[in-house]
Amino acid sequence: MLLEKDFIYHIYNQGNNHRKIFFSQENYLFFLEKIKTYITPYADILAWCLMPNHFHLMVLVNYESLPKSGGATPSRTSTKTISFNHSIGIMLASYTRAINKQNITSGSLFRGKTKAECLNCPNGITPSFIAKNGITQLNSSNPENEYPQICFNYIHQNPVKAGLAEKVTEWSFSSAKDYSDLRNGKLINKIAAKNFGLIYKDES
């Protein structure tokens, strides 16, 4: 997983063997705090959704690495840095330890590899969220512009497609409520999303 500056990525992972990763409202809120701590120093969050057994993040990378001591900007003199990739791993490990302690369990909570698909890289990739049974469902001459919007919609539609809500705004654990102005969440960067032409529409 390589996360490069100035590109948009769809980052996701799920519970090991499709098991739950969130067991209570407090777990969802705790994970959001982890996102704030380990993701936002590196990237602007454009969309997010937490589901009972998986999560989705859509981010714009600002820094590929930061000083180990933390901080909002990288230091040219610092030799000890933590990459964005590593920070994601630390976040998941930290959350896993907390859940194992809560549930008196042990072992892996998430699948071994966190996926990150670049949505606007000019390399002709086909993100998994628009493929079904190996067949691409979108033919686009300008994928680096269209894929981000499709992913943006896909992330917010997750709870409806899973039968957890009739409308996207009924699910509390996504950025849909923030884009619908039903909540003033601080996690997403609406300005960055707008700059990339991302438009929120409640189509549920």
What mean pLDDT is predicted for residues 90-105?
Answer: 97
Is 135 part of a structural domain of the chain? yes
Distance CA 155, CA 22 (A): 17
Task: Return the pLDDT at 22.
Answer: 98
Residue 3 within any structural domain of the chain: no
* Number of domains making up the chain: 1
d(CA 83, CA 186): 24
Hey, what are 55's tokens?
Answer: 């999560």
Mean pLDDT of 192-200: 95
> Model confidence over 99-123: pLDDT tens digits?
999 999 999 999 989 999 999 987 7
Q: Is 202 a domain residue? A: no
Confidence of residue 143 (pLDDT cuts 50, 70, 90): low
Of 131 and 96, which is predicted with more confidence?
A: 96
**Residue 16 in domain:** yes
In this prediction, residues 191-203 reach a mean pLDDT of 90
Any domain includes 74? yes
Q: Which of 7, 170, 16 is nearest to 84 (CA)?
A: 7
The pLDDT > 90 percentage for the chain reads 77
pLDDT at 133: 47
Domain that holds residue 124: 8-195
More confident residue, 133 or 150: 150
> What is the average per-residue pLDDT within 77-103?
92
- 94 within some domain: yes
What does the buried/exposed string (b/e) look like for 161-172 if buried means 16 or more CB atoms within 10 Å of the residue's CB?
eeeebeebbebe
Count of Cβ atoms closer than 10 Å to residue 10 Cβ: 25
| Contact (CB, 8 A) for 20 and 53 | yes
- High-pLDDT (> 70) share of the chain, %: 82
1 in a structural domain = no
Instruction: Tally Cβ neighbours within 10 Å of residue 55.
Output: 27
Question: Is residue 174 situated within a structural domain?
Answer: yes
pLDDT tens, position by position, 13-69: 999 999 999 999 999 999 999 999 999 999 999 999 999 999 999 999 999 999 986
* Residue 125 contacts residue 146 (beta carbons within 8 Å): no
pLDDT reported for residue 79? 65
Structure tokens at 120: 């606007």
Residue 136 banded pLDDT, cuts 50, 70, 90: very low
**Domain harbouring 58, CATH code:** 3.30.70.1290
pLDDT at 91: 98
